[in-house]
Amino acid sequence: MVLSLSVYTGTAATMALLGWHVNKREQQQLRVGGGELPFASWEIMMAMLIYVAVSAVRWLTSWDYNMYYCYYVSMQSVGDFSRENFEPGFSLITELMAKSGLHYAFFFGFWAAVQIFLLYYALRHRKWLLPWLALCMMLGPYYIQWMNTIRQTVVECLLLVLIELIVQRKFWIYLVLVLLAATLHKMALLLIPAYFVPLIPTRGSRRWVPVVILLLCVAAGQFPQWIKWLFESLGTLAEYVGYSHYYRLFASHNGTYMFVDWNGPARVLPFVTCLMMAWYYPEMKQHSSGDRVLSATYRFALVHIAYLNIFANTTLYLRRPGDLFRAVYLVMVCYTMHYLWQQRKWIPLAVMVVLNFYFVFYDMIKATINPSCVTFPEFYRTFLM
């Protein structure tokens, strides 16, 4: 546990400090009439390098990580995957790296580099969010889960970049990039209808509207039996997005896969965070002078929490489509915390800090006291030690 907490908190603090420094330099330059710092500033490059290094030397830290590790080693030893249904883009990259004789650390480091590049590139004009991003990402539930769901996480982070295309109404470029992402994970195809999410009206300054909608989603999620009829029409869609295996498990009426209670802190605290977002969003929107990226990010964050609560008491695999908006939700958390900091709203900011920085400490303690209650082994391990 000591190693895990040291790595996660140390990485969070270092990346946050680098983000703070690059934003400070940029603000100083803007005040004297200069322009924005380039994306490839030394602070951003250093932060990305730290993220990649920490990720590359991780070892056997989750179920999916172990799966990818075995596939990569299998490709190197026998020249083929032990699984046939990987998407062509992911298969090609994996095969090229494996057959080049690269250590598996380069494989995991590569995907970590793609993740963090997309995140930082999406925020290249909003460097003031980088310190909050580093802290929330490393201390919240994001990083631990992202290095588990490697392919889907790339799609999640790509959506942050695609938001700019949405607000600029560049649908065809958006579509091409989504189709390319689908060669890494078929779930990316669900981003095609997601293009229209920012068009959802939010009723201006009426704070109660999203709050009521979210509460209704919670109520629906408490009685998930209504979802059963949905599976009768899901077969074809499941095939397209690479979920046919999971669909067959659902259709078999296997209770283990259909209904699993999910009512702990991992559900409740993000929901409370989203309620705070909804409460402060009208002020944030006014303060941001009509930032359309903020508006789109807010809508995606609402959809993320609404979806997860509707399907809360089903199965992890049915909740996964909602996780496509997880990285966008993370950035909306950062927007909210930065606004509260700027406006010196210390009490709500303190609440947000507790809600969003608790996860690593909570999970490490829980895994130490009762390892059987943790879904995946989330301690930080490295092959270097």
Model confidence band, residue 200 (pLDDT cutoffs 50, 70, 90): confident
- What pLDDT score was predicted for residue 257? 45
> Is 247 found in the same domain as 344?
yes
Lowest mean pLDDT among 191-205, 233-247, 282-296, 334-348: 233-247
Mean pLDDT of the chain: 84
Residue 155 in this model has a pLDDT that exceeds 80: yes
- What pLDDT score was predicted for residue 316? 67
Q: 207: which residues sit within 8 A by CB, 6+ positions away?
A: 278, 279, 281, 282
Residue 162 in this model has a pLDDT that exceeds 70: yes
- What pLDDT score was predicted for residue 265? 72
pTM: 0.88
Task: Report residue 145: phi and psi, to 5°.
Answer: -80, -30
Q: 281: which residues sit within 8 A by CB, 6+ positions away?
A: 202, 207, 210, 298
Of the candidates 155, 327, 112, 177, the one whose C-alpha atom is nearest the C-alpha of residue 242 is 155
Say if residues 378 and 363 touch (Cβ distance below 8 Å). Answer: yes
> Is 171 found in the same domain as 22?
yes
Look at 381 and 34; give whichever has higher pLDDT: 34
Sign of CA dihedral 89, 91, 94, 98: negative
> Is 250 found in the same domain as 174?
no
Query: Which residue matches tokens 């896969």?
Result: 257
Sign of CA dihedral 43, 49, 55, 58: negative
Model confidence band, residue 321 (pLDDT cutoffs 50, 70, 90): confident
Model confidence band, residue 373 (pLDDT cutoffs 50, 70, 90): low
> Is 71 found in the same domain as 148?
yes
> Is 8 found in the same domain as 41?
yes
Element holding 41 (H helix, E strand)? none
Query: Which residue matches tokens 């089903």?
Result: 314
What would the pLDDT profile of 68-83 be if each residue is shown by its tens digit? Answer: 888 888 888 876 665 5
Instruction: Give the Cα separation of 150 and 175 in Å (integer).
Output: 22
- What pLDDT score was predicted for residue 171? 94
Q: 373: which residues sit within 8 A by CB, 6+ positions away?
A: 366
> Is 160 found in the same domain as 88?
yes
- What pLDDT score was predicted for residue 67? 83
Instruction: Give the Cα separation of 315 and 285 in Å (integer).
Output: 35
> Is 318 found in the same domain as 370?
no
Residue 93 in this model has a pLDDT that exceeds 50: yes
Per the structure, the complete domain to which residue 80 belongs is given by 1-188+358-385
- What pLDDT score was predicted for residue 302? 92
> Is 298 found in the same domain as 209?
yes
Instruction: Give the Cα separation of 39 and 325 in Å (integer).
Output: 24
What would the pLDDT profile of 9-26 be if each residue is shown by its tens digit? Answer: 999 999 999 999 999 999
Instruction: Give the Cα separation of 186 and 183 in Å (integer).
Output: 7
What would the pLDDT profile of 357-372 be if each residue is shown by its tens digit? Answer: 988 888 777 777 766 6
Element holding 169 (H helix, E strand)? none
> Is 346 found in the same domain as 234?
yes
Residue 245 in this model has a pLDDT that exceeds 70: no
Say if residues 301 and 274 touch (Cβ distance below 8 Å). Answer: yes
- What pLDDT score was predicted for residue 255? 47
Residue 256 in this model has a pLDDT that exceeds 70: no
- What pLDDT score was predicted for residue 271? 87
> Is 88 found in the same domain as 66?
yes
> Is 363 found in the same domain as 258?
no
> How many domains would you assign to the chain?
2
> Is 82 found in the same domain as 48?
yes
Query: Mean pLDDT across the stretch 147-151?
Result: 83
